[in-house]
Amino acid sequence: MLVLGIESSCDETGAAIVQDGRYLLSNIVASQIEVHNRYGGVVPEVASRQQLTAIIPVLEAALEQAHCGWDDVDAIAATYGPGLAGSLLVGLTVGKSLALARTKPFVGVNHLEAHIYANWLRQGEQPQAGVGAINEGDPEFPLICLVVSGAHSELVLVREHGHYELLGQTRDDAAGEAFDKVARILGLGYPGGPAIQQAAQRVEEELRQQKKSLKQARKAYLLPRAWLRGTYDFSFSGLKTAMLHLAEGATGVAPELRSTGQAKQGSRYARMGEQAAQAGAPDVALLASSFQEAIVDVLAVKTRQAAQEYNVKQVVLAGGVAANASLRERLQRELTPLHVRLSYPPIEFCTDNAAMIASAAFFHLSRGERHGLDLDVQPGLSL
Ligand code: KG4
Ligand code: ZN
């Protein structure tokens, strides 16, 4: 079965054709990163207008790349939530219109569920990077999925296709949101996750070459971790605030933020920043590395605990933050002794794409499920 998937929930416009929920015939993504980089984040009004101009060329490119005509496509799927209403409307309306015009079955897809299904996608060649098994065959149920994106941080128990049990979620900022905000504080640009990862990798490599201890170097910035013991919930706002104060104290790191009055001069973290500044120039890359370690620590330990409690044989990662090399490595170290398999999608399928929409749709269609053309967008949809 060939499914045409459409994704437009935020600032990426995607169209893809996927066979049987797994095999990629085409995958086109138009990104608005350059536009939003100017503002340091996604501007909803701008995002929906960009979706409008991108959607038709992206669709045409997906059909062309797959060498497909309309007769070859068996069903059409589009994201209907969660996301930005204006952006979602573009993909959903185009998807439903195509289904009507071409008399094809239509399925609306939950964007979060689709991130999980990115783990079912396979490519011809094995993607390089990282450790652990990458999509060698279908994941095995029951499994624990850590969904970490720009808007979500959720630990989910998946007992079988379509059955999701939410074990915990963020009480404030999502993991990706924390990466983005902290990158802004450090002046590293948008999107923050890849920028922080790069800066961290750079300083870690430098320290290795100088034969210096990373652990010792990170002691200049001891950052808080919210464990919220007894729950699988997350909280990253304390860490973000600590980073803001640190940057405040360490003169020259975030000059633009000092004028916003958000600073709490004299806080513990501001003093830590001042001390680091006095000892030498404040090191943005080392701050990035310490921040990344703090966030990865909490995500990896809680995911390992959930895998143990629910006695699963497999953990999968999903969402943009699943592209993070440090998270992948750390989780692999947590899970290997337990003989729990870790898998995660190749990087381009961690961040928003339409192939994962087509994959999730295939499993709904296989169960005989589809939506009417009166389906509306649901910006606040959950799993
Ligand atoms: O899943 P996604 O593309 O969009 C949402 O549905 O939110 O996730 C985007 C998020 C951004 O916050 C971005 O900074 C983060 O994923 N991200 C990363 C990395 N690549 C993307 N975070 C950490 N490390 C990365 N390598
Ligand atoms: Zn997403």
Query: Which residues neighbour 330 within 8 Å (Cβ) at sequence distance 6 or greater?
Result: 296, 297, 300
Question: What pLDDT shows up at residue 134?
Answer: 43
Per the structure, the complete domain to which residue 297 belongs is given by: 169-343
| Ligand 1 touching residue 351 (CB < 6 A) | yes
User: Would the annotation count 147 as a binding residue?
Assistant: yes
Q: Rounded to whole angstroms, how far apart are CA atoms 193 and 183? A: 8
* CATH number where 119 lies: 3.30.420.40
305 plus 181 within the same structural domain:
yes
Name the residue at shortest CA distance from atom 14 of ligand 1: 193
CA distances from 378 to 52, 94, 338, 362, 382 (A): 19, 16, 39, 21, 9
Are 110 and 383 in contact by the 8 Å Cβ rule? The answer is yes
120 plus 205 within the same structural domain:
no
Identify whether 138 is part of a domain. no
248 plus 326 within the same structural domain:
yes
189 plus 309 within the same structural domain:
yes
Centre of ligand 1 to C-alpha 89, Å, is 22
122 plus 244 within the same structural domain:
no
383 residues of the chain, pLDDT tens digit each? 999 999 999 989 999 999 999 999 999 999 877 766 766 677 888 888 989 999 999 999 999 999 999 999 999 999 999 999 999 999 999 999 999 999 999 999 999 999 999 999 986 433 333 333 345 678 999 999 999 999 899 999 999 999 999 999 999 999 999 999 999 999 898 889 999 999 999 999 999 999 999 888 888 888 999 999 999 999 999 999 999 988 887 755 555 444 444 555 557 888 887 877 777 766 889 999 999 999 999 999 999 999 999 999 999 999 999 999 999 999 999 999 999 999 999 888 999 999 999 999 999 999 999 999 999 999 999 99
191 plus 293 within the same structural domain:
yes
Question: What pLDDT shows up at residue 265?
Answer: 54
Of ligand 1's atoms, which has the minimum distance to the CA of residue 180? Answer: 14
By the CB criterion, residues less than 5 angstroms from ion ligand 2 are 149, 352
Return the ligand number nearest the Cα of 345.
1
Alpha helices in the chain (DSSP H): 33-37, 44-65, 85-101, 111-117, 175-185, 192-209, 214-218, 237-249, 255-258, 268-279, 284-309, 325-335, 347-350, 355-366
Centre of ligand 2 to C-alpha 243, Å, is 25
DSSP 62-122: HHHHTT--GGG--EEEEEEESS-HHHHHHHHHHHHHHHHHTT--EEEEEHHHHHHHGGG-B
| Ligand 1 touching residue 176 (CB < 6 A) | yes
Identify whether 333 is part of a domain. yes
44 plus 73 within the same structural domain:
yes
Identify whether 91 is part of a domain. yes
3-state DSSP assignment of residue 14: strand
Q: Rounded to whole angstroms, how far apart are CA atoms 183 and 124? A: 35
105 plus 243 within the same structural domain:
no
192 plus 326 within the same structural domain:
yes
Residue corresponding to tokens 């059409």:
76
64 plus 83 within the same structural domain:
yes
pTM: 0.90
Centre of ligand 1 to C-alpha 33, Å, is 12
| Ligand 1 touching residue 352 (CB < 6 A) | yes
Identify whether 383 is part of a domain. no
115 plus 177 within the same structural domain:
no
| Ligand 1 touching residue 81 (CB < 6 A) | no
Identify whether 223 is part of a domain. yes
Name the residue at shortest CA distance from atom 10 of ligand 1: 150
Identify whether 162 is part of a domain. no
Of ligand 1's atoms, which has the minimum distance to the CA of residue 12? Answer: 3
CA distances from 182 to 185, 214, 287, 320 (A): 5, 20, 10, 16
| Ligand 1 touching residue 26 (CB < 6 A) | no
Question: What pLDDT shows up at residue 366?
Answer: 96
Our CA angle for 321, 323, 329, nearest 5°, is 100
Identify whether 256 is part of a domain. yes
| Ligand 1 touching residue 180 (CB < 6 A) | yes
Identify whether 54 is part of a domain. yes
| Ligand 1 touching residue 193 (CB < 6 A) | yes
* 143-148: strand order across its sheet: 163-169, 153-160, 143-148, 314-318, 341-343
339 plus 359 within the same structural domain:
no
| Ligand 1 touching residue 319 (CB < 6 A) | yes
Count of domains in the chain? Answer: 2
Among residues 304, 181, 194, 192, the alpha carbon closest in space to that of 238 is found at: 181
